[in-house]
Amino acid sequence: MEQVFDFSIPHRQPVKAIIQALIKSFGSMIKQLWPIIIVILLNKKVQSGEGSREKVFLFFFFIPLLVLSYNLFEFFYLKYMIRNGELVIKKGFFVKREVVLPFERIQAVHLDQDWLQRLMGVAKITFDSPGTTKTEEQIFLEYKVAIRLRDLLVGERTHHAVSEQQIEKSVPVISLDGSDLFKLGISANFLRVLLIMAAFAFARLDDLQTITGKSSLDWVSWLGDEAAANSAVFISAIAIALLLFSMLTSFILVVLKYGNFQLTQSSKGFHIRSGLINTREKLVPYNKIQFISWNANWIRRFIPFYLFHFHIIGDYEISNKWKIAVPATRLSFFPVLLQSYHPQLPTMAAKLYMHPAFLFRQFFISLIVISAIGVAAWVFDFQPGWKLLFISPVWMFFAYIYLKNFSVSIAANALQINHTLFSKSFSLVRWDKVVAVVVKQSIFQRRRNLATVTLFTGGGSVSLPYISMKEAGEIRDYALYKSETAF
C-alpha cells in the first residue's frame, strides 16, 4: 500500500529522534568534561567525603540536567514544513527563529546515520545553501521520511506530498567489494594518522596534568631520557610497533568510512552512500558541481587509487565531515564520474608551467624562516632549536618537486591543474563556472613580469602561481569571456 507523507503541514521531529539526540548530547557532554570529572573523582577530599559535595552535585546532576533540559526545549520547539517551494524551519524556545530555504537555493542535501540513529530508525538531514552564513540547518527525521524530504528538495517537485512510488530509481555506478576495501585500507596514509594520534595523545596528557603533574613536554623529555637509556633494538621495536599500530588504526578508519560504499546515478545527480557503522548519504545534483578534484596519496598513486571530490556550491564553507570522497579504484570509473561535468583533458592539450623563479622565492622565504628560528634559538638559549635549521633543504626539495610536477592543461571549455607534491592531485575546472578572477603580483613577481591567478568558483578556488603576466592576462580574459557568455 502506498504511503503518503504530507510536508505542507507543520511537523515536529519524532519522539525517538528526541531520545537519541538527548543520549548523544549527554555523551558529548561526558566527552567534553571527562578530565574534570576524573579530577573531581580522584580528589582526596571528595573520596573521604569532606566538602566539595557541591562540585560533585554540580558536575553529576545540575549541569547535565541543565544541558538536557535546554536540548529538550530546543528539540520540542522545532517544526518544519514546505510552503510555496520553500523549506520552512521554525525553531527556538528562548530565541525564536524562522529559517526559510527556497528550493533553488538548496545546493545539496546530506543524510547521516550513526549506529544509534540506525538502531532507532532515524536520520539527520542537513542542507547546504550558498550565502554568508556558515550555519548548517539540520533536522532529525524518521529515515523513510528523511529520504522522501531529500528527494522532494533535490527533485524540485511541485507538489508537497511524496509517495514511495514517486521516488526515482537510481543506477549503481561504483560499489566497493572486499578486495577494493582492503586495498583502500592498506594504502591509507598511516603517517598522517600517526601524527593525528600523537597530537590527540599530547592534548589528553595536558588535560590530565592536574592528576599526573606532568605536561606533554615533560612526557616528551621523559621519552627522550628513556630512549637514551635503552638500546637501539628496543627503540626500533617501539618505533615499528607504533607504525604497525598506526597502520592498523588507519586501516580500520578507512574500512569504517568506506564500508558499504555505493555511488548511484539518476537523471538528476549522483547519490553517494558510505559508512559501515555511521552511514552518510549525499546527493550531488549535476548542475551544482562547480569543479572536480581527485588525488592519490603517496602510496595510492602507485596502485593507482584516486579519491574524487565533487565541489558543489558552498563547499568552501562546510566542514570536512560533510565532504564525501568517491574512491575511484579503477581508471574505468573516471569517464563515468566526469561525464556530467567535463571529460579529463588529454595529455597533448596546451600546457602552462610555473616559472623557475618560484624556486628562488621559496629559497628566500626559507632563509627568512631559518633566520627567525636562529634568532629565537639564540635569544632563548634553546639548543634543540638549531636542529630545526634542516628545514631549509627539505623546504627547497618540496618546492622543487612541486615546481617540477605543476602544470595546467588548457582546453576551450575547461582547464586541468596538476598540483602534485607527493600525493598526485588534479583539479578540473570549467571556465563557465568561474565567478571571480583575481590576479596578484608581489614586488618580486612584478620585477620578473610574473603573476598568480586565482579562479574562484562557487565551490572553492584554484590558483595558478608564478605564470607570466601575459599568460595571466589571457587566462583572466578568457575566463571572464566564458563566464560572461554562459547561461
Partner 1 sequence: MIFENSDISLSEIPSADSVEWQRVEPGLKRVKQLNWLLLWLIVIAVWIALVLFIDELEDVTTVTLVSIGLALLSGFHFYAQMKSVAFMAYAVREHDLLYRSGWLVRTVRVCPFNRVQHCSVSIGIFDRKFGVSSLRMFTAGGNDADVKVQGLQLKVANDLRNWIVSKIHKDGAGV
| Contact positions vs partner 1 (CB under 8 A) | 130-132, 290, 313-314, 316-317, 350, 352, 410-412, 433-443, 446, 456-458, 460-461, 471, 473-478, 480-481, 483-484, 486-487
Nearer to partner 1, 174 or 313 (CB): 313
CA 152, 154, 160: angle at the middle one, nearest 5? 20
Beta-bridged to residue 291, according to DSSP, are 311, 429
CB of 480 to partner 1, least distance (A): 6
Least Å from the CB of residue 102 to partner 1: 13
- Spatial contact of 308 and 325, defined as CB atoms under 8 Å apart: yes
Q: Give the residue with the Cβ less far from partner 1, 138 or 442.
A: 442
State the cell numbers at 254.
Answer: 578507512
One-letter-per-residue 3-state SS of 309-339 = EEEECCHHHCCHHHCCCEEECCCCHHHHHHC
Q: Which of 356, 352, 456 is nearest to 407 (CA)?
A: 352
Which cell goes with 180? Answer: 577494493
Is 104 or 226 the residue whose CB approaches partner 1 more closely? Answer: 104
Cβ atoms 427, 418 nearer than 8 A:
no
CB contact at 8 A, 149 and 125:
yes
Choose between 90 and 482: whose C-beta lies nearer to partner 1. Answer: 482
What is the three-class DSSP state of 88?
strand
Q: Which of residues 172 and 473 has its CB atom nearest to partner 1 in the complex?
A: 473
Min dist. Cβ of residue 436 to partner 1 (A): 4
Look at the block and give the residue holding cell 598526485. 424
Nearer Cβ to partner 1 (281/471): 471
d(CA 374, CA 387): 10
- Give CA separation, 129 vs 97, 154, 431, 457, in Å: 17, 12, 22, 15
Shortest Å, Cβ 48 to partner 1: 40
Query: CB of residue 109 vs partner 1: minimum separation in angstroms?
Result: 17
Closest distance to partner 1 from the beta carbon of 269 (Å)? 16
Q: Shortest distance, CB of residue 199 to partner 1, whole angstroms?
A: 28
392 and 367 Cβ atoms separated by less than 8 Å:
yes
Q: CA 73 to CA 91: how far, in whole Å?
A: 10
Is the Cβ of residue 153 or residue 455 nearer to partner 1 in the bound state? 455
Residue 254 has a CB neighbour count (10 Å cut-off) of 21
**Contacts (Cβ under 8 Å, ≥6 apart) of 306:** 294, 295, 296, 300, 327, 328, 424
Residue 411 C-beta: closest distance to partner 1, Å: 7
| Burial class of 62 by CB neighbour count within 10 A (0 to 12, 13 to 18, 19+) | exposed
Output the CA–CA distances (angstroms, integers) from residue 363 to 134, 358, 385, 443, in the order listed: 38, 9, 20, 16
Minimum gap (Å) between residue 272 Cβ and partner 1: 21
Helix, strand or coil, per DSSP, at residue 247: helix
> Could you tell me the smallest distance in angstroms from the CB atom of residue 443 to partner 1?
6
Closer to partner 1 by Cβ: residue 337 or 475: 475
| Rounded CA separation 461/440 (Å) | 14
Residue 17 vs 455, nearer CB to partner 1: 455
Nearer to partner 1, 130 or 385 (CB): 130
